Amino acid sequence: MHDLLPFQVIGCVTATMTKSNLEIGTLAVHPEHQGRGHGARLLEAAEKKGRNSSVQKIMLGVPSCRTDVIPFFTKMGYKVGKEALFQGILESV
């Protein structure tokens, strides 16, 4: 494993906010740094921003080829909502 330098990006989250919804677009953590809580902290930061703005629903899409990440989001309090052809929509509970 490489030493972590102060300027290395190990993860990111993107989110889009509307009047009533927050949609998480991307949540990614570098493979060498997964399993250490970084993804949970990134997701929690995005959720906090949404809740501070009074959003009513937080949603995210999961590509059908990435069903392996659904247990992570379930553990974070999300449940499978409606499903589309290419993604399942997860909603916070």
- Tens digit of pLDDT for each residue in 45-79? 998 888 888 788 888 888 778 888 888 988 888 88
CATH of 11-92, one of 3.40.630.30, 3.10.20.600, 3.90.650.10, 3.40.50.150: 3.40.630.30
Would you state the pLDDT for residue 20?
Answer: 83
- Tens digit of pLDDT for each residue in 3-16? 666 778 899 999 99
Domain ranges of the chain: 11-92
Return the residue matching tokens 């949970």. 40
The pTM (predicted TM-score) of the whole model is: 0.76
Largest CA distance in the chain: 43
H-type alpha helices, the chain: 38-52, 70-75
